């Protein structure tokens, strides 16, 4: 794992990036190589909110959060948040079938797009920054994005080859999104170099998270990885007592999401019809489920 963020994103963080990116509309029958140009469906923009010091008090009681028994994150059948596959009929359906709209690849692309929108919804909106007392900088947003990508990719691996292939579509959406965010932050020169550095950080973090959850890992390994990857500037010093409480809460959150996603059925995962645990003020004594 790369421990010093200064090697890859200090410059971007100083510029500051609050991405309001939007995707285009759903398409079908595209190749993996061309997907980045045609990612589907719009993502709600994120309103500006006041950044704050890490030392200030969180707006939620973290000590009471993320202790509940894990449960499925799948959306109820009647949930207004569900996104269903379009059911066209007649000539339109015949035409779309010819255009491979209903091919396995196209369905996977649409499903992966919904999954990525769920990630963006959790990472780009104020509640997660307010709950864990984080400033909304490029570094923290990128770190949270990687954490939630890891959560989804880890769950997809449980579905074998099909899940790994689906994860590839999801990763390409992530990669395209990060490229847009870096460009929006003002990094136009040496963009390829920045993306390579961020790719190394991505894979380094993924490996570190997985290793910290292995049976032979020490009890505090996962908390330490969360601290280094998300809260610490360079990972060289441990958190103080004030910061440790927040870091431990995020570690509980991530561990619980791992368990909840494992309990979420395949259909919900592949269609994107699930939501991450709510982090709003009303979730101070529960996890929003």
Say if CB 59 and CB 130 are below 8 A apart: yes
The per-residue pLDDT for 238 is: 83
Give bridge partners of residue 74 from the DSSP assignment: 274
166-191 pLDDT, tens digit per residue, is 999 999 999 999 999 988 877 666 78
Which residues have C-beta within 8 Å of that of residue 235, sequence separation ≥ 6?
3, 4, 5, 227, 228, 229
What pLDDT does 46 receive? 31
Q: Which two tokens stand for residue 288?
A: 């929003």
Kindly list the distances between the CA atom of residue 137 and the CA atoms of 86, 201, 203, in Å, as whole numbers in the listed order. Answer: 37, 17, 21
What is the tens place of the pLDDT at every residue in 61-111? Answer: 888 889 999 999 999 999 999 998 877 778 777 666 676 667 888 899 999
For residue 23, pLDDT beyond 70: no
Mean pLDDT of the chain: 78
- Contact assessment for residue 113 and residue 26, using Cβ atoms and an 8 Å cutoff: yes
Residues 42-53 pLDDT 10s = 222 333 323 335
Q: For residue 130, give the nearest of 56, 45, 21, 232 by alpha carbon.
A: 56
Q: Is 234 left (phi over 0), alpha (psi -120 to 50) or beta?
A: alpha
Q: Count the neighbouring beta carbons within 10 Å of the beta carbon of residue 286.
A: 14
């Amino acid at each position: 794992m790369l421990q010093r963020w200064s090697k890859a994103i200090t410059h971007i963080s100083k510029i500051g990036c609050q991405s309001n990116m939007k995707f285009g509309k759903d398409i079908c029958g595209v190749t993996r190589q061309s997907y980045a140009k045609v990612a589907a469906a719009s993502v709600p923009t994120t309103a500006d909110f006041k950044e704050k010091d890490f030392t200030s008090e969180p707006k939620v009681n973290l000590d009471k959060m993320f202790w509940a028994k894990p449960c499925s994150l799948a959306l109820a059948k009647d949930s207004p948040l569900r996104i269903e596959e379009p059911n066209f009929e007649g000539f339109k359906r015949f035409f779309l079938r010819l255009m491979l709209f209903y091919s396995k690849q196209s369905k996977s692309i649409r499903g992966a797009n919904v999954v990525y929108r769920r990630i963006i919804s959790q990472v780009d909106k104020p509640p997660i920054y307010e709950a864990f007392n984080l400033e909304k900088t490029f570094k923290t947003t990128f770190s949270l994005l990687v954490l939630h990508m890891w959560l989804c990719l880890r769950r997809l691996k449980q579905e074998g080859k099909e899940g790994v292939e689906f994860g590839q579509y999801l990763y390409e959406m992530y990669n395209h999104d990060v490229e847009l965010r870096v460009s929006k932050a003002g990094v136009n020169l040496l963009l390829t170099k920045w993306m390579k550095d961020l790719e190394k950080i991505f894979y380094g973090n993924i490996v570190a998270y997985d290793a910290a959850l292995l049976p032979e890992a020490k009890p505090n390994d996962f908390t330490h990885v969360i601290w280094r990857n998300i809260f610490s500037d360079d990972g060289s010093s441990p958190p103080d007592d004030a910061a440790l409480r927040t870091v431990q809460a995020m570690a509980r959150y991530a561990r619980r999401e791992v368990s909840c996603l494992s309990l979420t059925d395949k259909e919900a995962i592949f269609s994107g019809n699930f939501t991450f645990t709510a982090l709003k003020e009303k979730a101070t004594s529960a996890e929003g489920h």
